[in-house]
Structure 1
Amino acid sequence: MEYSKSKLKEEKVFKDPVHRYIHVRDLVIWDLIGTKEFQRLRRIRQLGTTYLTFHGAEHSRFTHSLGVYEIVRRIVDDVFAERPEWNKEDRLLSLCAALLHDVGHGPFSHSFEKVFQLDHEAFTKEIILGETEVNAVLSRVDKSFPKHVAEVIGKTHENKLVVSLISSQIDADRMDYLQRDAYFTGVSYGHFDMERLLRVMRPREDQVVFKQSGMHAVEDYIMSRYQMYWQVYFHPVTRSAEVLLTKILHRAKELNRQDYPFTYAPLHFYSIFQEQYNLADYLKLDESVMLYYFQVWQEEKDPILSDLCRRFVNRDLFKYVEFDPAKEYRKHSELEALFKKAGIDPEYYLVFDSSSDLPYDFYRPGEEEERLPIYLLMNNGELRELSRESDIVDAISGKRRTDHKLYFPADLLNDDSSKRNIKRQIRSILEI
């Protein structure tokens, strides 16, 4: 039997707290799970620094990727299987793209990418197309198969229906992470009726649509997403940890530029500091490696790097106040000057952070992120954009919510004999 259609002699199952069981019958999927690039995802948390806020959030991108695969498997094997609009030849492509959609994520993904100006999607593509175990498995299906999988994940594949299963405003990726992240953080916001959503999904040429009778399940999903972003993903304590993490990496990078003699040399970072990295260097970095450096850098002679690492390792996070940069820019300049007078480097100890989210939007050509709308399939066969039918969704459609915070180490602003007046001024401005 050709490899693409080969099945395991006996179905393999992963016990899962969200989906109960994750089922694997395809040999291709089983072989992909066993690759070293996919196994690496066990060593990368799904929610980065969120475990410092919600102690249960220790789950990995490995578990999430399996969850996305399982949702897509249920869609293509159960929901779409006998639908004339669905081409069964796209089944394996959909499953592989679902499983591998996050394979390029780095440690503490978004903070890490921001500092070093990296793109996990570019690394995902390189893992799928490069000289890797993942590529070797996909190439056994067909020499062009890795390219098709990479195009689906990169949202450039001509089959927009398959792309929408992985990347749309209501897709398998979001359906898994909302439920999984809610489960592991212990909050109730991210739960919605996925069983109902799957039952009302219908394939169309360009994307998945939803039967009108399932509109309330779609509303529930969107509100769950909205709540999870503001109660979990943008939690100010998590953002404080991200600020610390970002500043540690900035400091290490700057010290390397200055030829600082590290007691514990950042061997795993050199190629990234110098922007001469390759895929092999990138794949050697995971969160256990980064946490090792943070642990030993507490003993570095550089007081800033040492202090920032101590704070991160021991969860001695920065405090925060609400801060509107449009109205309070003069206050920020004044604080920077006072921090310098107090001997506290504002580059590392006075940090502005902003979080923004657009929970649902109809399609707006030319926007930075073009969003396909969610369509309802009406009883007469007509497609109607969701916010035109739902008052709840219409109320939040197109409305971006933004939250601004100013982070600082409150303990360094306590009175001392030499800088008492300056620190008192700082506390007065910050109203702490």
Structure 2
Amino acid sequence: MSRDDLQPYDYTRPVRTAADRDDPLFLELVSTTAFKRLGDIRFLGGIDYFLVRHPNGAPGNRRYTRQQHSLGVARLADLYAEIVGLPQKDRRLVCSAALLHDVGHAPLSHTLEAVFKRSFGIDHHIAGSQILLGESPLGREITDILLSYGLDPEEVLALASGALNRFDGFFSGPINFDTIEGILRSWKYVRPKASAPSPDKVVFASINRATGDDRATVDGFWQYKDYTYNYVVRSEFGVASDFLCESVVFSNISRLSRSDYFLTEKQLFGKVPELRELFMNFRWRAGVTRGSARSIPYKARRFSVDHRFDFFSRNDRCRYTQRREDRVMEIPDPVIAGELPQPRFPAFIDDLDLHQDN
């Protein structure tokens, strides 16, 4: 397979039809209650609702789901299996782990994870483990399917969580299927028509590692990760988005229980309608915060390439680095006033081209 053989990547439908994946295991897993639930879990949580107020399906005006992302990650795992020629059992293992890696996400994804963790002692790692091992309110559906195809749910869980360092680090290393798909998907919120590499091409380049173009593709992806965190996920806008949602849910936590972690977002809005009202009625903050304000400490994350370490030797943990920065932002008090700092993207992003196409 060459780079030219890769198919166009559609973030709305990474796996288009059943014909794209004729393995009955895949078809059974995507039909489970637990996986279908991800279709009502926004990919960026609260950020999705604030950043895309009136989704109509047009480029730049779409919300994405954890289900779409999970299908994309499974597509990348399947591409890897095809390129390196994995036998069927290993192919099913990597594709199942990729497909199910986010099955334990809460309504609003990472946005409300701290609320559920602090209040009920559950997060997406715990929930994902319970779902795969048949110990969640969603039952044993996934567990029994995996066992029926000769797969060990414990092994699928270990691989999906990154605890197993197999398959060239595509689950456990910095350049992994989940991060590749998730970062480039997130970039579509910022600049839907930007010249960014497709997830398929980043995976291909990371496997191939034979040319300067391969190195530029993977290094360029890591630069996109830095931009995505700096201007969206851990920007003041992103931090304030999560904090506002957390504040509303914390103030109504008596209505929820541990089992509500496994709700869809529609079901959560039924229990906490104030959350939907926040999404409908928030406003962008005009200028500097005035009057009463609250200081919110948070950790920013920055990503860079350390060129002292050779790309072709696959020393990714040293080459692709990250650091955390302690920052503080000011938001209006009371926080449920629903004011957000407007997201700002520097002018150079409009002309950003990392020498790749879609």
Q: Distance in 2 between matches of 1:64 and 1:231?
A: 20
Query: What residue in structure 2 maps to residue 53 of structure 1?
Result: 51
> Displacement, 1:100?
0.2
Are 2:261 and 1:282 equivalent residues in the alignment? yes
Which residue type is aligned with residue 282 of structure 1? Y
Q: Aligned partners of 1:61, 1:32: CA distance in 2, in Å?
A: 15
State how 1:145-294 maps to structure 2 within 5 Å: 145-157=152-164, 160-162=165-167, 164-187=169-192, 191-192=196-197, 194-202=199-207, 210-211=209-210, 213=212, 214-253=214-253, 256=254, 266=255, 269=256, 271-272=257-258, 277=259, 281-283=260-262, 285-294=263-272
Q: Deviations over 1:357-413 (max 9, x none)?
A: 142588xxxxxxxxxx98633xxxxx264698x8xx7xxx45444542111159999
Amino acid at match of 2:46: T
Q: CA offsets per residue over residues 129-151 of structure 1, 9 Å max, x none? A: 11421111111012x61111011
The letter for the 2-side match of 1:135 is: T
Give, as a single letter, the amino acid of the residue that structure 1 aligns with 2:35: F
**Pair 411,312 (structure 1): closer, same or farther in 2 beyond 3 Å:** same
Matched, 1:24 2:28: no
Residue 102 of structure 1 is matched in structure 2 by: 102
Q: Over the residues paired in the alignment, what is the CA RMSD in angstroms?
A: 3.6
Q: Secondary structure at the match of 1:352?
A: strand
Kindly provide the CA deviation profile for residues 225-266 of structure 1, in whole angstroms up to 9, marking residues without a partner as x: 11111122124333323221111122113xx3xxxxxxxxx2
Q: Which runs of 5+ in 1 are unaligned?
A: 1-13, 203-208, 257-265, 298-307, 323-334, 340-348, 363-372, 378-382, 414-432
Alpha-carbon spacing, 1:359–1:313, altered in 2? closer, same or farther (3 Å)? same
How far residue 94 of structure 1 moved from its aligned partner, in angstroms, is: 0.2
1:167, CA displacement in angstroms? 3.5
Partner in structure 1 of residue 282 of structure 2: 315
1:114 to 1:248, Cα distance in 2 relative to 1, 3 A: same
Aligned mate of 2:77, from 68, 72, 83: 72
SS in structure 2 at match of 1:356: strand
Unaligned runs of 5+ in 2: 1-8, 54-60, 338-358
Gap change, CA 1:249 and 1:47, over 3 Å in 2: same
Contact preservation (8 Å) 1:244, 1:317? no
- Structure-2 change in CA distance of 1:398 and 1:175 (3 Å): closer
Q: What letter is aligned with 2:224? A: S
C-alpha separation between the residues in 1 aligned to 2:185 and 2:287?
Answer: 28
Supply the distance in 2 between the matched residues of 1:39 and 1:197 (Cα, whole angstroms). 27
Question: 1:407 & 1:111 partners in 2: Cα distance?
Answer: 17
1:342-421 paired onto structure 2 within 5 Å: 350-360=294-304, 376-377=311-312, 383=313, 385=315, 397-409=321-333
User: What's the counterpart of residue 345 of structure 2?
Assistant: none
TM-score by length of structure 2 reads: 0.74
Higher relative contact order (CA 8 A, sep 6+): 2
By how many angstroms is 1:70 displaced? Answer: 0.5
Query: What is the aligned residue count?
Result: 309
After superposition, give the CA deviation of every residue in 1:277-323 in whole Å (9 maximum; x if it has no partner): 4xxx532x22112223343x5xxxxxxxxxx875444124667869x
| Deviation for aligned residue 1:112 | 1.6
Query: Partners of 2:194 and 2:328 in 1: how far apart?
Result: 23
Other-structure match for 1:120: 124
Q: What SS does structure 2 have at the residue aligned with 1:106?
A: coil
Partner of 2:352: none
Q: Counterparts of 2:99 and 2:116 in 1: how far apart (Å)?
A: 26
Q: Deviations over 1:113-165 (max 9, x none)?
A: 212213201111110111421111111012x61111011122223xx223822
Residue 98 of structure 2 aligns with an amino acid whose one-letter code is A
Counterpart of 1:53, as a letter, is L
3-state SS of paired residue (2:142) = helix
- How high is the sequence identity, in percent, across the aligned residues? 20
User: SS state of the match for residue 350, structure 1?
Assistant: strand
C-alpha distance in 2 between matches for 1:72 and 1:140? 21
Determine the C-alpha separation between the residues in 1 that align with 2:88 and 2:206.
16
Larger radius of gyration: 1
CA 1:317–1:401 in structure 2 vs 1: closer, same or farther (change >3 Å)? Answer: same
Q: Which amino acid aligns with 1:44?
A: I
CA distance in 1, matches of 2:189, 2:35: 21
In the aligned structure 2, how far is the partner of 1:16 from the partner of 1:411? 34
TM-score by length of 1: 0.62
Question: What displacement does 1:69 show?
Answer: 0.4
- Deviation at residue 168 of structure 1 after TM alignment: 2.1
